[in-house]
Chains A and B, each alone.
Chain A
Amino acid sequence: MSGPLAGLRVIELCDELGQLAGKLLADMGADVIKVEPPGGSPARAIGPFVKDIPGPNRTLNFWYHNTNKRSVVLDVEEESSRERLRKLAATADIVIESLQPGYLPGLSLGFADLSAANAGLIMCSISPFGQDGPWSDWKSSDLVGLALGGPMRMNGYDPEDAAGAPPIRGHGDQGYNTTCHFAAMGIMAALLHRDATGQGQYIDCSMHEALSCTVEVGMPYWFYKRIDVVRQTGRHAAHRRTEPWLFMARDGRHILCFGVGRDNASWAKIKQWYRSEGFGQQFDDPRFDDPRNRQPGRGIPEAEEIMAETARFIAAHDAEYVYRGGQERDQAWGVVRSPDETLDDAHFWDRGFFVGTRGEGVEGEAAMPGAPYLFSATPWELRRPAPRLGEHTAEVLAELG
């Protein structure tokens, strides 16, 4: 079996901003050729590194975001290399780039140049602010993008938890990730148009726009109420302060809980569980029977009592026990895990989610996240680990003839 994009060739000229877009296509079967400058993609300088020893082939960040790609070194500052790149692009279905706006057109490598002899070419430019407008020449970073685009302003603290704390950036380069999700969506929409018509096109994907429409209730509250929602500790920003969702368990980990026994069936299970552990003896009082009295966030005394007792229950147990016990009783509770702790959850191994990769400095395989989706006919597949710098230069140039 091979992925849904098998047979497609993609040329990728991306740094850390755009590399996930190439991975999303490569992991589903496309032949993604990553064209890197002689010193390697700037993303090869981003850690963490294997055993903390830097090197272009030792970065775990690069390993993760460049699976299933081939690496070709071409110095686009030289005309002979540019000519090779044009030849390569003539064989491509898709070009993805995240270089400075205007840079490739300045080298006669823009969409007009590359599509002249390849009418079906889809070219996607990924940039911090888009290809035009007063900010288009500005450099950015994941932090700066999340600040201007709006996500940061949604995240932060109640004054009681951290007085005067700034808006907080969620880590993991999520600004780049969201941008690449939109790039992949745009490329797929363009590909479907090409399936129908044979026509290629150019795609301008702006991180600033991608983030600006990825803040859920943020924009609607402005559109309809002219209100900026206010950030709060560990829960949704809102137009007014709301009840906490995070409760610390005995082991110091946090449980996410935004409601207990909202419906009668799950309330009965929760009551029995609490009782069996010596909690919630008061809940047999009939005033707790009406589900309307158990809905949190409305200032109802019964609901507040339930949350207070739940907080005591959580504080007396370890977080993973509370999480599983809650879920087994139909509560959409969570446990706040550090990212690596997901490795300890057997469910994801049941699904074959974690996959082994290889690379310089590591004996055998190292597990990492795999498929974001399970396709029945054309599954996600790890065909090869991230390439060493220039690993496929000779191979690809030989294919070009």
Chain B
Amino acid sequence: MTKLPLEGIRVCDLTWIIAGPTATRFLADFGAEVIRVEHGQAVDAIRLGRPIAGDNPTLNNSGFFNYFNRNKKSILLNVRHPDGMEVLKRLIAASDVVVENFSSGVMASWGLDYPDLRAIKQDIIYCSLSGFGHLGRDRDFVTWGPTAQALSGLTFMSGLPDKPPAGWGYSYMDHTAGYYAAIAIMMALHHRNRTGEGQSIDLSQVEAGIVLTGPAVLDRTVNGRSWRREGMPPGNRAWEPAVAPHNTYACAGDDRWIAIAVMNEAEWQALVQAIDNPDWALDPRFATNAGRLANQDELDARIEAWTSEFEDYEAMQILRAAGVRAGVCQAPSDRATRDPQLAARDWWHTLPHPEMGDCEFDGVVPRLSATPGTLRRGSPLIGEHTHAVMAEVLGMPEEEIAAHEAAGVFM
């Protein structure tokens, strides 16, 4: 088997919920040995997160947890026990990376601030992922993914004008903060490879959200214009580049929709041809992008009158054949069962799990030609690897493992 690009990198993974585990999911997919440090007294809530396989949560049958924690190991460690903290420090000494997404201040209260970590392992890479970061007047404020989305402007940017925000129907900023953490950790590893120097990384989830709104911020600092104004947010119509038609349109059936984006004149002509050159499309008001923008209500209604005659995939096929950018608003079931592109690229996988049996997963993106990421195993049972990690990673003698076990260190 090909060597994975992060093989040999050991991650002491103190993360939980979604953001941190997203970062370590990527690292694990690409071969890092990710050791989740878990606590029986304060279990990762996602271990109880729905959907679960079966009817009652067991800590080991959450499909939600399985999705974010494939390819990882789990140890149970009672860090409130002095010997537990000692074991954690030994694990840190044996690791390349420590990553956590506690609220700001928790690591300090454990005596595990960056200077402490560096005293344990001189070239450690420490990545802390918190709501507001460790500097600044509001560093003690706390976030969940949706909080970060609200504060950064992302929630506001999703919605129809004159309606409450639609926002994001999932923790987009848990995913994205996790991606930034993975990028940062790998950049720090590269720097360490070159220089031998480790470092600490302070990642604020809210700031990671604000960096996704750059042009809107500059529109205020340069042009004095806020997104909080009449007609904004523009729903599925275009902001910039300002083009029309650009929207979602109802198709035949219940709650079925197609997105269409016409980016230039050639694509407008292609659209008109695809929908059989209706008379209304020859109206001079629709002859230019400026005219189409000025008459979007009528334009969108005309197009929707056409799309609603077709099933969504059928409409997509007609429009695509003409070269129009169009796509069905796919639900998860659509992607899993009706999406030829994902199927052709072998996107779907199955991995066994000791409690849940065969479980489905999506693949690894992006695809590396020489050292692609792999799906090797499902998520770990809680504490599944405690013994193995103590014995093999820390070289702990059996008697010591047994003594710790008896003293309640591994719980």
Contacts and interface: CB of A to CB of B under 8 A. Distances in A.
B333 A213 contact: no
A248 B163 CA distance: 12
B201 A186 contact: no
Interface string B31-68: 00000000000000000001111000000000110110
B369 to A, nearest CB: 4
Given A48-B240, A169-B236, A188-B183, A224 B51 contact: yes
B187 A201 contact: no
B150 interface: yes
Interface in B332-378: 332-333, 335-336, 339-342, 344-345, 347, 359-363, 365-371, 373
Interface stretch (A73-81, A189-197, A271-279, A387-395): A189-197
B368 A186 contact: yes
Given A50-B222, A254-B164, A129 B341 contact: yes
Interface string B190-209: 11011001111111101110
A212 B335 contact: yes
A170 B158 contact: yes
Interface stretch (B212-220, B271-279, B400-408): B212-220
Contacts of B227: 338-340
Given A367-B217, A369-B207, A167 B257 contact: yes
B248 A368 contact: no
Interface in A321-349: 327, 330, 332-343, 345-348
Contact of A233 (B5, B166, B248, B368): B166
Given A221-B51, A221-B332, A376-B114, A256 B155 contact: yes
A300 B225 CA distance: 44
From A156, A228, A336, A366, residue with most partner B Cβ within 10 Å = A336
Given A205-B365, A375-B199, A168 B150 contact: no
Main SS of chain B's interface residues? mixed
B280 interface: no
A333 B169 contact: no
A234 B186 contact: no
Contact of A171 (B18, B149, B157, B164): B157
Given A201-B368, A350-B137, A373-B184, A228 B210 contact: no
B188 interface: yes
Nearest to A136: B341
B222 A366 contact: yes
B359 A234 contact: no
A346 B210 CA distance: 14
A237 interface: yes
Nearest to A201: B370
Contacts of B344: 132-134
Of the listed residues A65, A335, A348, A370, the one surrounded by the most CB atoms of chain B closer than 10 A to its CB is: A348
Interface stretch (B87-95, B320-328, B391-399): B320-328
Given A339-B153, A348-B207, A369 B213 contact: yes
A385 B132 CA distance: 26
A139 B323 contact: yes
A77 B238 CA distance: 31
Contacts of A237: 169-170
B207 A351 contact: yes
B242 interface: yes
A245 B142 CA distance: 17
B175 A214 contact: yes
A236 interface: yes
A57 B342 CA distance: 38
B interface residue count range (under 10 / 10 to 19 / 20 to 34 / 35 or more): 35 or more
B146 A218 contact: no
Contacts of A218: 170, 332
A190 B368 contact: yes
Contacts, number: 515
Given A144-B259, A154-B170, A218-B332, A48 B155 contact: no
A4 B213 contact: no
B218 A143 contact: no
Contacts of A311: none
B259 A143 contact: yes
A47 B238 CA distance: 11
A219 interface: yes
B153 A342 contact: yes
A48 B223 contact: yes
Contacts of B194: 7, 195
A171 B235 CA distance: 8
Contacts of A213: 362-363, 365
B7 to A, nearest CB: 9
Q: How large is the interface on A (under 10, 10 to 19, 20 to 34, 35 or more residues)?
A: 35 or more
B296 interface: no
Contact of B146 (A61, A65, A130, A235): A235
A148 B328 contact: yes
B297 interface: no
Given A138-B320, A208-B342, A234-B167, A222 B336 contact: yes
A153 B256 CA distance: 10
Interface string A83-102: 00000000000000000000
Contacts of B389: none
Interface string B261-284: 101000000000000000000000
Contacts of A246: 164-165, 167
Candidate in A64, A202, A224, A231 with the most chain B CB atoms within 10 angstroms? A224
B172 A185 contact: no
Contact of B190 (A132, A139, A178, A195): A195
A186 B226 CA distance: 35
A68 interface: no
Residue in A201, A202, A332, A370 with the greatest tally of chain B CB atoms within 10 Å: A332
A218 B160 CA distance: 23
B117 to A, nearest CB: 12
B63 A340 contact: no
A282 to B, nearest CB: 27
A107 interface: no
Given A170-B172, A376-B200, A65 B214 contact: yes
Contacts of A288: none
Q: Which of A192, A214, A231, A350 has its CB near the most chain B CB atoms (within 10 A)?
A: A192
B153 A338 contact: yes
Interface string A215-252: 11111111111111101111111010000011010000
B56 to A, nearest CB: 14
Contacts of B63: 220-221, 223-225
B381 interface: no
Contact of A174 (B142, B212, B345): B212
A149 interface: yes
Contact of B151 (A152, A193, A334, A369): A334
B160 A168 contact: yes
Contacts of A220: 51, 63-64, 66-67
Given A234-B164, A338-B232, 9 more contacts: A47-B242, A134-B341, A170-B154, A196-B8, A204-B367, A334-B143, A342-B153, A372-B207, A377-B198
6 contacts: A149-B330, A155-B167, A186-B365, A209-B366, A218-B332, A221-B51
In order of increasing CB-CB distance, the 5 nearest A-B pairs are: A339-B153, A154-B169, A334-B150, A188-B186, A64-B214
